[in-house]
Amino acid sequence: MREVTAAIILRDGQILIAQRGPEQKQAGKWEFPGGKIEEGETPQECLKREIQEEFDVEIEVLDFFAESVYAYESGSIKLLAFWCRWLAGDFTLKVHSRIVWADFRELDLYDYAPADIPLMEKLRPPG
């Protein structure tokens, strides 16, 4: 099972979600951005690297949030999500089509990649 990271990036009480680009698997689906953990890399190091590569921004990785396991046709992943804070840089889209700063109550308005759905449900306020 491949371990993958997801950043729950907060800014002004909203969460960053990103729409997967047309060249990616699950194109058009929304996700909490992140990526595959490389050999010898911690999940936190992976998140900092991936967010820098994908958006040209610097983040601080905070506490572990949750994990989600999902079996895609291409193989199973364990998605490890961490609370993060945006520190510096202007968001540049390199692999995603769009980004949205979503209110917690608006999270379920988007069509997520399957592995991200349990994370979204845990973030969404009850009711």
Mean pLDDT of each 10-residue bin along the chain, 127 residues long: 95 94 89 95 97 96 96 92 96 96 94 96 84
Could you tell me if 42 and 53 are in contact, meaning their C-beta atoms sit under 8 angstroms apart? no
* Angle, CA of 16, 19 and 20, to the nearest 5°: 130
Report d(CA 86, CA 78) in Å as an integer. Answer: 24
Domain count, the chain: 1
E runs forming strands in the chain: 2-11, 14-20, 30-31, 58-72, 75-88, 96-103
| The predicted structure's pLDDT at residue 119 | 97
Question: Domain containing 43: what range?
Answer: 2-123
The domain that holds 118 is classified in CATH as 3.90.79.10
| The predicted structure's pLDDT at residue 24 | 82
| The predicted structure's pLDDT at residue 127 | 65
